[in-house]
Every structure is written in structure tokens, then in C-alpha cells.
């Protein structure tokens, strides 16, 4: 294992690469960036606006400590990615590792086979997993997609779009943005604040459709399923 410290004259975007092994990124009160891993390589790009740090080919862990609010992109093939603390814009892509992000201003998180977990996101988040679950807490606006995994989002303040094939979709929505849901066989459960009167356009070939709120035009809900049930209920 080796460690390197990078002094940052200005805020930079961090681009982190690791083929395998766990990746930990920690946002904490500091002005520099410290990377610990196996044969670390680094490169400053975009006239100093981007710092690229690459972990070696080993499977040992890769840990990066950076200032709070940093913009970070992480690319890995098979390692789990854990991001602790508060980040700016975050983009994580992994083929088979799980992704866990505590807090971000914006997020794009995608994995093929594992779970994605996002604590909170002030702005827009885009989350996808092919076969894993998607779980998020409090987010500004969300677009989520899975095939067999479920999608569960605690609270979406604004616009919410979700697609799943067989996984269920559950979300609490604030009623301030449109909701668009599509699923083949997954069950859909949307909760809205009491008093909201949504305009609902729902269709399902064989699934049950239920809306326990009075029809109105406070917001639009579009939902389509082949066989999955669709229900919209007060929170």
C-alpha cells in the first residue's frame, strides 16, 4: 500500500479509477486530497480543473480523503464503492460492485449487478442497477431504473421517474413534481401528502389500479404496467 497527498490550490473534480477492490471516498474538513492504495498514479487534466487518481491493478482497497463538497467521479469494475460525508456532484459507475453514497448535491449512480444506496441528495439524482436494489432517502428529483431489483425512495421533493421490469417501485413524493412510472410486472406504490389531488393517467393490462386521493390537477401521475399493480395513497 502507498499513500499520496495532493495540495489543491483550487477546488477540483476528482476522477478516481480502480479495477477491483473496495473504494472508500471520505469527504471531511480538509483542504488537500489524500489517496491510499496500491501503486497510485495521478494526472492533472483540464488545465488543473481535474485530478485523476488511478489505483493499481491489485485488489487491495483504495481510500481517498477529500474536502467536503468535492465533485467526484468513480469508475470501477468490481469493487464496492462507499462514499462517506457530503459531496458535490457525484458520478459512480461500476459493473458489479455495490454503491453507497451518504450525501450529495447531485448524483449519477449506476451498477449492473449490485445494490445502490443514496442517503440524501439535494438536487437531481439518477440511479440505476440492472439486478440490484435501489434505495434512497431524501432526494430533490429522481430518475431510477432497475430490471429485477426493487426501487425504494423515502421522499422525492420534485419530479420522479422510475422504470423497473419485475422489481417493485415504492416512493414517497412531495407532490411538487410530476411522477412517471413504468413497470412490466413490479408493484407500484406511491405515497403523496394528504390534500394533494393528482391528475392520474394510469393503465395496466392486468394489474390492479387504485388511487385513494381525490382526482384533481395539483400534479400529474403517469403510470403504466403490464401486470403489476399500481396504487397511489395518502402518506
3-class state of residue 48 by DSSP: helix
Residue ranges in 147-206 that form contacts with another protein under rule CB under 8 A: 147, 163, 165-166, 182, 184-185, 203, 205-206
Which segment (2-10, 26-34, 107-115, 210-218) binds another protein by CB under 8 A?
Answer: 107-115
Under a CB-based contact definition with an 8 Å cutoff, are residues 233 and 190 in contact?
A: yes
CA separation (Å) from 81 to 46, 134, 135?
A: 25, 14, 15
Per DSSP, helices labelled H in 93-134 are: none
CA-CA distance, 210 to 213, in Å (whole number)? 9
Check residue 18 for interaction with another protein (CB under 8 A). Answer: yes
**228 phi and psi angles, rounded to 5 deg:** -75, 150
Check residue 128 for interaction with another protein (CB under 8 A). Answer: yes
Nearer to another protein, 34 or 166 (CB): 166
Check residue 214 for interaction with another protein (CB under 8 A). Answer: no
> Considering CB under 8 A, how many residues would be counted as binding another protein?
38
Check residue 59 for interaction with another protein (CB under 8 A). Answer: no
Nearer to another protein, 143 or 218 (CB): 143
Amino acid at each position: 500500500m502507498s499513500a499520496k497527498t495532493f495540495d489543491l490550490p483550487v477546488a477540483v473534480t476528482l476522477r478516481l479509477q480502480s479495477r477491483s477492490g473496495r473504494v472508500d471516498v471520505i469527504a471531511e474538513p480538509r483542504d488537500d486530497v489524500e489517496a491510499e492504495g496500491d501503486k497510485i498514479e495521478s494526472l492533472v487534466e483540464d488545465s488543473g480543473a481535474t485530478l485523476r487518481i488511478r489505483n493499481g491493478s491489485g485488489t487491495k482497497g483504495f481510500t481517498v480523503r477529500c474536502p467536503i463538497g468535492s465533485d467526484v467521479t468513480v469508475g470501477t469494475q468490481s469493487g464496492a464503492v462507499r462514499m462517506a460525508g457530503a459531496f458535490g456532484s457525484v458520478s459512480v459507475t461500476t459493473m458489479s460492485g455495490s454503491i453507497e453514497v451518504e450525501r450529495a448535491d447531485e448524483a449519477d449512480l449506476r451498477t449492473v449487478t449490485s445494490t445502490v444506496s443514496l442517503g440524501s441528495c439535494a438536487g437531481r439524482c439518477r440511479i440505476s442497477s440492472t439486478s440490484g436494489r435501489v434505495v434512497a432517502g431524501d432526494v430533490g428529483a429522481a430518475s431510477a431504473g432497475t430490471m429485477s431489483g426493487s426501487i425504494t425512495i423515502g421522499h422525492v421533493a420534485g419530479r420522479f421517474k422510475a422504470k423497473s421490469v419485475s422489481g417493485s417501485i415504492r416512493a414517497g413524493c412531495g407532490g411538487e413534481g410530476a411522477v412517471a412510472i413504468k413497470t412490466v410486472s413490479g408493484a407500484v406504490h406511491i405515497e403523496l401528502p394528504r390534500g394533494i389531488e393528482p391528475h392520474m393517467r394510469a393503465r395496466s393490462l392486468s394489474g390492479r389500479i387504485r388511487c385513494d386521493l381525490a382526482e384533481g390537477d395539483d400534479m400529474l401521475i403517469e403510470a403504466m404496467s403490464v401486470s403489476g399493480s399500481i396504487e397511489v395513497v395518502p402518506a
